[in-house]
């Protein structure tokens, strides 16, 4: 069964979603990302995907306090990316307690760092974020082209020991236009990597189609706006219930 992972995107301390990753398209869904993490845990999700958007734009992670509050608040694995471009930044994120670090720009511009991290933490705890627009990898908060084909980069990284990629179709991200199923399948089949799909999921039909890709290596999917905007059966009922609940259950670490 494909694993569904809620996204918490941090921007100036708030939980937001962007359209196609473009600055200025922010829609704020919560002033309290920690509360949002507890909500997702209360709904029995098994992991969280947290991105420091400020870090991605600025080139260094800046939302570590918010990240720490999230990690301390829930008892499920948290993967984290956004501005992780030095060894020290990645180590600090792991010291905070994340399960997996997502390396994006550095995977294109600083392979030495990527391979050092793979050797130290192992391929289960280091994933690469491949963010694609028209087949080409985008870096530095999706503001610049990495100048390399996404599939070719995936094959190269697989040969170098990378096991998992977060594969995002930027043209779909935050649009609710549906996941790019064919691109996800082509990437997984061609590279042989384990793939977490991301970008454009709009309804449970997308999840069913992605589930069909599990034999090819697509074993998980990150969902953001569709969850926040109640695009799934029962989600709106959960939201209504949570408005009157003070205690969301055993979601916190002890």
- How many other C-beta atoms lie within 10 A of the C-beta of residue 157? 24
* Domains delineated in the chain: 3-242 (3.20.20.70)
Residues with a known catalytic role: 9, 131
What pLDDT score was predicted for residue 247?
56
pLDDT score of 254 more than 50: no
What number of H helices and E strands is found in the chain? 11, 12
CA distance 86 to 95: 14
DSSP codes, 147-195 = EEEHHHHHHHHHHTT--EEEEEETTTTTT-S---HHHHHHHHHHH--EE
CA distance 220 to 102: 15
Task: Report DSSP state, residue 214.
Answer: G
Helix/strand/coil for 6: strand
- pLDDT one-digit tens code per residue, 99-138: 999 999 999 999 999 999 999 999 999 999 999 999 999 9
As beta bridge partners, residue 8 has 50
pLDDT score of 50 more than 80: yes
- pLDDT one-digit tens code per residue, 148-186: 999 999 999 999 999 999 999 999 988 899 999 999 999
Task: Report DSSP state, residue 2.
Answer: P
Task: Tell how strand 144-149 and strand 100-103 pair up.
Answer: unpaired
């Amino acid at each position: 069964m494909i694993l569904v992972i809620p996204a918490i995107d941090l921007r100036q301390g708030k939980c937001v979603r962007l359209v196609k990753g473009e600055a200025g398209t922010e829609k704020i869904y919560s002033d309290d990302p920690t509360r949002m993490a507890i909500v997702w845990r209360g709904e029995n999700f098994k992991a969280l995907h947290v991105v420091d958007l400020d870090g991605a734009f600025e080139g260094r992670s800046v939302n570590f306090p918010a990240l720490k509050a999230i990690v301390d608040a829930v008892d499920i694995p948290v993967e984290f990316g956004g501005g992780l471009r030095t060894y020290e930044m990645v180590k600090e994120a792991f010291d905070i307690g994340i399960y997996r670090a997502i390396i994006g720009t550095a995977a294109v511009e600083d392979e030495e760092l990527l391979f050092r991290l793979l050797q130290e933490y192992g391929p289960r705890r280091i994933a690469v974020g491949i963010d694609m627009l028209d087949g080409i990898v985008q870096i530095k908060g999706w503001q610049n082209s990495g100048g390399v084909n996404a599939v070719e980069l995936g094959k190269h990284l697989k040969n170098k020991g990378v096991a998992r990629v977060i594969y995002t179709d930027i043209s779909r991200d935050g649009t609710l236009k549906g996941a790019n199923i064919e691109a996800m399948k082509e990437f997984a089949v061609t590279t042989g990597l384990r793939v977490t799909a991301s970008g454009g999921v709009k309804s449970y039909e997308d999840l069913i189609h992605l589930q069909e890709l599990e034999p090819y290596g697509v074993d998980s999917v990150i969902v953001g706006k569709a969850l926040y905007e109640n695009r799934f059966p029962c989600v709106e009922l959960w939201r209504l219930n949570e408005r009157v609940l003070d205690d969301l259950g055993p979601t916190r670490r002890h």
